[in-house]
Amino acid sequence: MVAVGMNHFTIIARDLTETRDFYCEYLDLTVGYRPALGFPGEWLYANGNAVLHIIAGRESPKHPTGVLDHMAFSGKNINKILQRLKSNNIDFNLKKQPETNIWQLFFHDPNGAKVELDFPASEKPKLNPTSTDDT
Q: Are residues 126 and 91 in the same domain?
A: yes
Q: Are residues 48 and 94 in the same domain?
A: no
pLDDT at 69: 78
Q: Are residues 8 and 34 in the same domain?
A: yes
Does residue 63 lie within any of the structural domains? no
Q: Which domain CATH number covers 25?
A: 3.10.180.10
Domain range holding 27?
1-58
Residue 62 sits at the vertex; the CA angle it makes with 60 and 68, to the nearest 5 degrees, is 85
Does residue 124 lie within any of the structural domains? yes
Report mean pLDDT in 10-residue bins for the chain, 135 residues: 79 94 96 95 95 89 74 92 93 92 94 92 79 51
Q: What is the pTM of this model?
A: 0.84
pLDDT at 87: 92
pLDDT at 3: 60
Q: Are residues 25 and 77 in the same domain?
A: no
